[in-house]
């Protein structure tokens, strides 16, 4: 399979107007100032872009609609994955929208050459189905059969690096890959949905990777620690069960119980988002098959 020219940076002598805009989906909720900065960062790319904002139930919808920016109202807080799927479906329904779609949250800030750098590297990777930009942490997302998505030291300094899955700070998805394996599993709501999609893509023969040198920053965390801890634990257990099997999920559950007990007794063993109720509810809901949105009170900032 050969990559299509859609969305590539212009070649020498080719006017920018002749290049098809790269489709960009930005998921937004209640951060209008940061959203404007993110839109400006995508407009500053050295390739043209067509931006779709999926507003995830903001109190006030963002007034950012323009010739190059469409706004779609999700109608509520659907979660990052389900909101992204709204943009993915619109992209897939438009056969003229190009070969690649870019996904980012409302506070991603790509450097001006980020998209063109990724496109030039991806043009040499015909089986790449999913890819992400470089956040500069020197780490690569990998997948462990017991722990799900974890980070490993980078193995290259520049260009394409195979990865277990893309991170969601700024990711590319190829049309043919999404057509074949589908879009995000909406049971995840947020966290681990990229890993699940990458595992489904890998089973179909597609590759995932990270493009070193295509830089992006994502300086803010919008969710509460309770919701983050809940979603990361519950969704990791779901991911492990779905892709590694029930034995691995049982071992991961035992590890989670140990982490819960040790963190409750020794605060120094707690992670950055450790939250007792969030973890207890995550274990309860996983065992009872409750997925999708977290309990509403865990999303409330206190």
Q: Give the model's pLDDT for residue 150.
A: 96
CA distance 63 to 33: 11
Q: Give the model's pLDDT for residue 6.
A: 41
Q: Give the model's pLDDT for residue 219.
A: 76
Residue 29: strand pairing partners: none
Looking at the predicted structure, is the pLDDT value of residue 11 above 50?
no
Of 31-35, 174-178, 217-221, 293-297, minimum mean pLDDT range: 217-221
Looking at the predicted structure, is the pLDDT value of residue 74 above 70?
yes
Please report, for the chain, the start and end positions of each structural domain, with discontinuous segments joined by +.
16-217, 225-299
Looking at the predicted structure, is the pLDDT value of residue 2 above 70?
no
The token pair that represents 256 in the structure block = 């989670």
pLDDT in tens, 241-276: 999 999 999 999 999 999 999 999 999 999 999 999
Q: Give the model's pLDDT for residue 220.
A: 76
Looking at the predicted structure, is the pLDDT value of residue 295 above 70?
yes
From the list 136, 252, 259, the residue with the least C-alpha distance to 192 is 252
Exposed / middle / buried, residue 16 (Cβ in 10 Å: 0-12, 13-18, 19+): exposed
From the list 28, 113, 112, the residue with the least C-alpha distance to 70 is 28
Query: Is there a contact between 286 and 188 (Cβ–Cβ < 8 Å)?
Result: no
Q: Give the model's pLDDT for residue 302.
A: 62
CA distance 138 to 132: 14
Report the mean per-residue pLDDT for the chain. 93
H-type alpha helices, 173-275:
175-181, 193-203, 225-244, 246-265
pLDDT in tens, 136-194: 999 999 999 999 999 999 999 999 999 999 999 999 999 999 999 999 999 999 999 99
Looking at the predicted structure, is the pLDDT value of residue 13 above 50?
no
CA distance 263 to 298: 19
Of 60-64, 228-232, 253-257, minimum mean pLDDT range: 60-64
Q: Give the model's pLDDT for residue 18.
A: 54
How many CB atoms are located within 10 Å of the residue 226 CB?
A: 24
Above pLDDT 90, what percent of the chain?
Answer: 88
Looking at the predicted structure, is the pLDDT value of residue 80 above 50?
yes
Of 17-31, 80-94, 163-177, 246-260, minimum mean pLDDT range: 17-31
The class (CATH top level) of 16-217 is alpha beta
Looking at the predicted structure, is the pLDDT value of residue 35 above 80?
yes
Can you state the percent helix, strand and coil of the chain, rounding each to 5?
40, 20, 40
pLDDT in tens, 183-193: 999 999 999 99
């Amino acid at each position: 399979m050969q990559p299509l020219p859609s969305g590539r940076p212009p070649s020498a002598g080719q006017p920018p107007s002749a290049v098809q805009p790269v489709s960009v989906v930005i998921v937004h909720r209640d951060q209008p100032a940061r959203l404007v900065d993110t839109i400006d960062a995508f407009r500053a790319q050295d390739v043209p872009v067509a931006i779709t904002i999926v507003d995830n139930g903001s109190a006030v919808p963002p007034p950012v609609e323009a010739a190059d920016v469409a706004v779609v109202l999700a109608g509520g807080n659907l979660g990052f994955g389900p909101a992204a799927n709204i943009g993915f479906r619109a992209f897939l329904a438009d056969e003229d929208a190009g070969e690649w779609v870019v996904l980012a949250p409302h506070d991603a800030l790509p450097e001006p050459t980020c998209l063109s750098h990724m496109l030039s590297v991806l043009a040499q990777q015909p089986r790449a189905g999913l890819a992400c930009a470089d956040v500069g942490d020197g780490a690569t997302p990998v997948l462990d059969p017991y722990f799900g998505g974890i980070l490993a030291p980078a193995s290259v300094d520049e260009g394409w690096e195979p990865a277990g899955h893309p991170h969601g700070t700024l990711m590319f998805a190829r049309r043919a890959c999404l057509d074949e394996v589908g879009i995000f599993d909406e049971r995840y709501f947020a966290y681990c949905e990229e890993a699940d999609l990458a595992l489904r893509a890998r089973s179909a023969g597609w590759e995932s990777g990270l493009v070193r040198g295509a830089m992006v920053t994502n300086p803010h965390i919008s969710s509460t620690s309770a919701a983050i801890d809940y979603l990361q634990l519950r969704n990791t257990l779901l991911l492990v069960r779905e892709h590694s099997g029930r034995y691995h999920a049982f071992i991961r559950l035992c590890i989670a119980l140990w982490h819960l007990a040790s963190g409750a007794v020794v605060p120094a063993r707690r992670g950055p988002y450790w939250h007792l109720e969030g973890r207890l509810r995550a274990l309860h809901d996983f065992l009872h098959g409750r997925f999708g949105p977290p309990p509403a009170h865990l999303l409330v900032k206190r």
